């Protein structure tokens, strides 16, 4: 693999929703602020969308039930989510990032990757660019950001998280493995709770411990996922920074270990794939106007179908329903080897669509709460009942750029 220079930045806004509230309401600065639900003295029945660092000292964190947060921090100021203001602040920050390079890949409303190769002649070395970005975000938007600088997206993202808030961590080219080695294993992409527990069989507690485990042993235990973990433990990550202009579609696919004609298994698999596609759409801040399915049979014949949606979506249920309807005519008289779901015609939603009322809004809030839980606790922390113990691929929270590989998805398989 060709080694890249240390020109990848990961920019992550600190306690974003809560920070916007403290910026706009100076009387809240220094106080524990919790954003989520409908507010109120008892926290209501919602979940925490964001917590200020003052609240985090009490153990409050995103995706926690609001009642639990209030029990931990009774003096917290609880505020409802104000999506319009957060979106406006996010767009200001993304515009700042775009001044330094066209290679900006937003992965959520409050974080993005940049590749600043080619920008050094105008703005200086990557460290200088990182400091300039932090300064511009502070002076122009009134927020703080933590930045990691490294040669890969994997290492840059881990670096940005180490010295929050307002941190800057630079990992020089060639020092990726040494930087990762002392860190706890849970910081590595693709290591959920089950994988972490399974790795204790190899005596693994840190990323450095994992780096010295023979790759063949990891492959035997975890399949293709084990081979990827072996690379990541050494800081190897070939995924490029992709700007929104680069993204033509989002897709997940998986190959069955044993070809199947079981309709229930096929529909559950399509549901798992649709969950993963929808999660990536939400992370990228886009919605799909077209859903496509791929069906490969035991003779290696591949069939594809697609359909335009009446309304663009980033939710799993409409993607799944459409994929099932598309797949059903293709399943007659065949045994299925591979299934895939793709979302195409991607576009940013309008402001009205972003904050739609009614059942769609409730579904999106539930989905975003699940996204937050999975990012913190692993891809399988929350699972649909229909997918339990079914061997069905699920969305993966740490590496949205890699599609599931044949004979096993890029997920926590431990």
* Residue the block writes with tokens 């808030």: 165
Task: Check whether the bond before 17 is cis (ω within 30° of 0).
Answer: no
Q: Has residue 54 got a pLDDT over 80?
A: yes
Backbone angles phi, psi at 378, to 5 degrees: 115, 160
Across 49-67, average pLDDT: 91
Burial class (CB in 10 A: 0-12, 13-18, 19+), 401: middle
Burial class (CB in 10 A: 0-12, 13-18, 19+), 389: exposed
Torsion of CA 238, 243, 249, 255, to 10 degrees: 10
Distance CA 413, CA 402 (A): 15
- For 19, the enclosing helix (H) or strand (E) is helix 16-24
Tell me the percentage of the chain whose pLDDT exceeds 90: 48
Instruction: Tell me the pLDDT band of 413, cut-offs 50, 70 and 90.
Output: very low
Distance CA 9, CA 152 (A): 9
Instruction: Tell me the pLDDT band of 245, cut-offs 50, 70 and 90.
Output: low
Closest among 16, 12, 14, 54 to 36, alpha carbons compared? 16
* Pairs from 203-208 (Cβ < 8 Å, separation ≥ 24): 206/181, 206/182, 207/180, 207/181, 207/182, 207/183, 207/233, 208/177, 208/180, 208/181, 208/182, 208/233
Closest among 85, 97, 104, 107 to 16, alpha carbons compared? 85
Distance CA 388, CA 382 (A): 10
pLDDT digits (tens, 9 = 90+) for 283-329: 777 889 999 999 998 877 889 999 999 889 999 999 999 999 999 99
Q: Has residue 73 got a pLDDT over 90?
A: yes
Q: Which domains does the chain have, with CATH numbers?
A: 178-232 (1.10.150.20), 249-387 (3.30.1490.100)
C-beta atoms surrounding 257 within 10 Å: 9
The per-residue pLDDT of the chain, averaged, comes to: 82
pLDDT of residue 239: 87
Instruction: Tell me the pLDDT band of 223, cut-offs 50, 70 and 90.
Output: confident
pTM of the predicted protein model: 0.62
The residues annotated with a catalytic role in the active site are 111
pLDDT digits (tens, 9 = 90+) for 199-220: 888 889 999 999 999 988 888 8
Q: Has residue 162 got a pLDDT over 80?
A: yes
Q: 117 versus 371: which is more confidently predicted?
A: 117
pLDDT of residue 327: 95
Q: Has residue 92 got a pLDDT over 70?
A: yes
Backbone angles phi, psi at 290, to 5 degrees: -135, 140
pLDDT of residue 200: 87
**Helix-strand-coil split of the chain, %, nearest 5:** 40, 20, 40
pLDDT digits (tens, 9 = 90+) for 13-40: 999 999 999 999 999 999 999 998 644 4
Instruction: Tell me the pLDDT band of 374, cut-offs 50, 70 and 90.
Output: low
Residue 30 · residue 53 · CB < 8 Å: no
Distance CA 156, CA 172 (A): 11
pLDDT of residue 377: 56
Q: Has residue 351 got a pLDDT over 50?
A: no
């Amino acid at each position: 693999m060709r080694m890249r220079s240390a020109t990848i930045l990961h920019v992550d806004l600190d306690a974003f929703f809560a920070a916007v509230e403290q910026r706009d309401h100076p009387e809240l600065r220094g106080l524990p602020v919790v954003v989520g639900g409908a507010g109120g003295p008892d926290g209501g029945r919602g979940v925490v969308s964001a917590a200020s660092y003052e609240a985090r000292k009490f153990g409050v964190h995103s995706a926690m039930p609001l009642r639990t947060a209030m029990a931990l921090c009774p003096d917290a100021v609880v505020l409802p989510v104000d999506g319009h203001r957060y979106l406006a602040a996010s767009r200001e920050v993304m515009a700042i990032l775009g001044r330094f390079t066209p290679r900006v890949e937003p992965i959520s409303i409050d974080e993005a990757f940049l590749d600043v190769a080619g920008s050094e002649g105008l703005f200086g070395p990557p460290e200088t660019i990182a400091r300039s970005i932090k300064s511009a975000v502070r002076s122009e938007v009134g927020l703080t950001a933590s930045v990691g600088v490294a040669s890969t997206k994997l290492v840059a993202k881990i670096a940005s998280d180490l010295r929050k808030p307002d941190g800057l961590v630079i990992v020089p080219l060639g020092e990726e493995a040494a930087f990762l080695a002392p860190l706890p294993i849970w910081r590595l992409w693709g290591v959920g709770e089950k994988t972490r527990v399974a790795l204790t069989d190899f005596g693994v507690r840190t990323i450095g411990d994992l780096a010295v485990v023979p790759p063949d042993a990891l492959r035997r235990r975890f399949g293709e996922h084990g081979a990827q973990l072996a690379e990541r433990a050494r800081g190897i990550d070939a995924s490029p920074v992709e700007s929104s202009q680069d993204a033509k579609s989002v897709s997940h696919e998986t190959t069955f270990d044993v070809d199947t004609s079981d309709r229930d298994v096929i529909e559950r698999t399509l549901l798992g794939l649709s969950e993963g596609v929808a999660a990536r759409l939400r992370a990228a801040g886009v919605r799909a106007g077209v859903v496509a399915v791929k069906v490969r049979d035991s003779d290696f014949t591949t069939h594809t179908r697609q359909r335009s949606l009446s309304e663009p979506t980033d939710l799993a249920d409409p993607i799944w329903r459409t994929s099932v309807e598309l797949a059903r005519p293709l399943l007659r008289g065949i045994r299925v080897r591979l299934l895939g779901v793709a979302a195409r015609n991607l576009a940013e939603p309008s402001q009205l669509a972003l904050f739609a009322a009614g059942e769609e809004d409730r579904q999106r809030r539930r989905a975003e709460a699940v996204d937050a839980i999975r990012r913190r606790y692993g891809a399988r922390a929350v699972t649909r009942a229909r997918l339990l113990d079914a061997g069905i691929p699920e969305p993966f929270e740490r590496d949205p750029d890699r599609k599931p590989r044949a004979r096993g998805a890029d997920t926590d398989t431990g």
